[in-house]
Structure 1
Amino acid sequence: MSSHRRVGVFVDAENVRYNGGYQMRYDVLRRFAARENGVLQRLNTYMAFDAERAREDMEYAKKSRIYQQMVRDFGWKITVKLVRRYTDEAGNVTTKANADLDMAVDAMLQADKLDQVLLVTGDGDFIQVVNALQNKGCRVELIGFKNVSRDLQREVDAFYSGFLIPDLVPVSYEPRNEWGKSGSCVRGVCTKWIADKGYGFLRIMDHISPNLWVTDPRGEGSPYASVFCHVNELADDVTEDLLMNRETVLEFYVNESEQKDNGLVAKNVRLAFSVNR
């Protein structure tokens, strides 16, 4: 693709935070968005801030300021949406900080100067926005985690599970994790399972690359790696039906194979996310 391809990224931060993307790394997201040598024209994220809580909870106020500054240091423009409280007739209080409208309007206004738009959300309310952006000539990609609208996935030009992008969501119990290296913890999907023989193959995205469409790890320039998995390494709740569902995300450790040069084997395979859970 052209090195002058103009890219815009729009992050629905609250949707991401509540749907599996907590602690998402904005520096990794930036690298993913620019993987095809595109020019990052817009980097927008929409975050909630509870001003009422901040007045009473100094620790919350401090952490919010530090986090927002860190994101800005990575080159992102932050639109802060203040949390609003609503009380119903029964006295129940609900909070809301919806940034959908701001994000949709910004994407549409800025689309004329963009060739590609990356939306980070799972909210099906953005379907009409996707269609409008595509009609303007933009390629629209989507990153989501849990509870991603199926209709939204079908409308975009490409959907990527944020769980599968290397280091986008850190492994909390492996703070020095080197994704894809022997001994590291990764996430992937099952591509083949031979039940009667008790083994199969998992696939991981080894690194961020412009060749994400080369999904066969044997293909030239493919950023994916194949990992051998024996049934003995599966957690009890990892069933064959879940394995063969490509929306099931598995978390596991990879080690070098003792039988095959440059081969990888999976250890301690467990569920990271399944649409059935």
Structure 2
Amino acid sequence: MKYDGLKAGIFIDNDNLIYGQDREGLDYSAIIKFVEDLGMLVIRANTYMAVDEDREQKDAKYRQEQRKHRSDIRNAGFRVFEKPLKKYQQEDGTVYAKGNVDLELAVDALLQTDNLDYVLLGSGDGDFSRVVSALQHKGKKVEAFAFDNISTELSQGVDTFYRPDGEHGHKIHGFLKKNQAALKQPTKTEKKEKVTKPVREIATIKAGSWREDKGFGFLTVKEESGKTSDLFFHVSHVRFSGGTRPTNSEMTTIAKSGCQLEFERGISEKGNKTCAVKIIPVSAEGEFVEYLSLRDISSRVLA
């Protein structure tokens, strides 16, 4: 479909799109080209990302790589909005970082409303659903794209949703840079090694096991034998559908909601026991899995 003559704005939640994925990053030039090929004039292209200033100050190589990365994005035609990553230490000594850029992106998109006919949102975060609705009420066409951990509320709320595999949306190509390491031909030894994809499982939090003061709990997991077992998890391995890490109090809300959690099995940081990692709150029924935002979960608790 062509949208000749429309004024377009692109707003990218960079960290949401690349979180936890084995990819080298977004091809920002391809994103602009995608919109221009639809016949539109791109008058605003913004990307939002968290910046680890402490690490950049201490690690010269990392600082050089990150500055080049941001420079490449600007050269592709985007304005880069940086938000310093804030680090917090819990009572148990665990340090976690937070650099949510949702508010900045949402405000900018709404402020540009009168200048745009079309908005392309790069995010799978369900918290943007209200922003999408507000833009549509002002007569704007809103489309979005993401790769993983996609909120059903968001994908169904936009006019068109794009994703690489085309599942539950329109298919897109070329938005991701090719991973050169993945393109490298394997050695004879590597060919002999069996590579297995981590298994994603579904479980619930064991009643009464979540410790808000300590930031950990246990999942009730069904084993292949049919029996259930308790699997340790820490809040630092939990993410909402948009990639944001919940606070300990928000994790308490998740525990109270009784919602399901999708996870993989991994090894604890001390390396001495199996635990749950890459945990995402979901609503699962059969093969259908809906990724939940904090608002989705809170509404269940209040219901």
Q: Which band: TM-score by shorter chain?
A: 0.5 to 0.7
**1:8 and 1:169 mapped to 2: Cα distance?**
20
Q: Does 1:83 align with 2:85?
A: yes
1:7 corresponds in structure 2 to 8
Residue 275 of structure 1: CA displacement?
7.5
Q: Are residues 45 and 32 of structure 1, via their aligned partners in 2, closer, same or farther at CA, if it must alter by over 3 Å?
A: same
Which letter maps to 1:18? Y
Once the two structures are superposed, residues 209-232 of structure 1 have per-residue CA deviations (whole angstroms, 9 ceiling, x without a partner) of xxxxxxxxxxxxxxxxxxxxxxxx
**2:128 and 2:45 mapped to 1: Cα distance?**
18
Once the two structures are superposed, residues 145-192 of structure 1 have per-residue CA deviations (whole angstroms, 9 ceiling, x without a partner) of 0001011101000000045422222342348xxxxxxxxxxxxxxxxx
Q: What's the TM-score, normalizing by structure 1?
A: 0.61
**1:96 and 1:275 mapped to 2: Cα distance?**
30
Q: Does 1:166 align with 2:173?
A: yes
Q: Does 1:152 align with 2:154?
A: yes
> Structure 2 unaligned runs (5+)?
166-170, 185-195, 198-286, 290-303
Q: What's the TM-score, normalizing by structure 2?
A: 0.56
**Residues 16-31 of structure 1 aligned to structure 2 (within 5 Å):** 16-18=17-19, 20=21, 22-31=24-33
Q: Are residues 15 and 3 of structure 1, via their aligned partners in 2, closer, same or farther at CA, if it must alter by over 3 Å?
A: same
| Contact 1:141–1:159 (CA under 8 A) maintained in structure 2 | yes
**Alignment partner of 1:14: what SS?**
helix
**Residues 100-249 of structure 1 aligned to structure 2 (within 5 Å):** 100-162=102-164, 164-172=171-179, 173-174=182-183
Once the two structures are superposed, residues 121-168 of structure 1 have per-residue CA deviations (whole angstroms, 9 ceiling, x without a partner) of 011000000000000111000101000101110100000004542222
**2:92 and 2:164 mapped to 1: Cα distance?**
39
Which letter maps to 1:110? Q
**Alignment partner of 1:34: what SS?**
helix
| Contact 1:19–1:147 (CA under 8 A) maintained in structure 2 | no
Residue 3 of structure 1: CA displacement?
2.8
| Contact 2:30–2:175 (CA under 8 A) maintained in structure 1 | yes
Once the two structures are superposed, residues 90-115 of structure 1 have per-residue CA deviations (whole angstroms, 9 ceiling, x without a partner) of 22111011100000000000011100
| Contact 1:81–1:99 (CA under 8 A) maintained in structure 2 | yes
Which letter maps to 1:117? V
| Contact 1:19–1:146 (CA under 8 A) maintained in structure 2 | no
**1:275 and 1:91 mapped to 2: Cα distance?**
38
Which letter maps to 1:12? D
**1:16 and 1:174 mapped to 2: Cα distance?**
21
Q: Are residues 170 and 68 of structure 1, via their aligned partners in 2, closer, same or farther at CA, if it must alter by over 3 Å?
A: closer
| Contact 2:36–2:42 (CA under 8 A) maintained in structure 1 | yes
Which letter maps to 2:120? L
Which letter maps to 1:50? D
1:41 corresponds in structure 2 to 43
1:69 corresponds in structure 2 to 71
Calculate the aligned-residue CA RMSD, in Å.
Answer: 2.3
**2:75 and 2:61 mapped to 1: Cα distance?**
21
**1:133 and 1:162 mapped to 2: Cα distance?**
25
Residue 45 of structure 1: CA displacement?
0.1
**2:83 and 2:41 mapped to 1: Cα distance?**
27
Bigger drift between 20-29 and 116-125 goes to 20-29
**1:153 and 1:69 mapped to 2: Cα distance?**
31
Once the two structures are superposed, residues 218-276 of structure 1 have per-residue CA deviations (whole angstroms, 9 ceiling, x without a partner) of xxxxxxxxxxxxxxxxxx99xxxxxxxxxxxxxxxxxxxxxxxxxxxxxxxxxxxx977
**Alignment partner of 2:68: what SS?**
helix
Instruction: Decide which structure has greater helix share.
Output: 2
Task: State the identity as a percent.
Answer: 36
Which letter maps to 1:166? H
| Contact 2:70–2:80 (CA under 8 A) maintained in structure 1 | yes
> Structure 1 unaligned runs (5+)?
176-235, 238-273
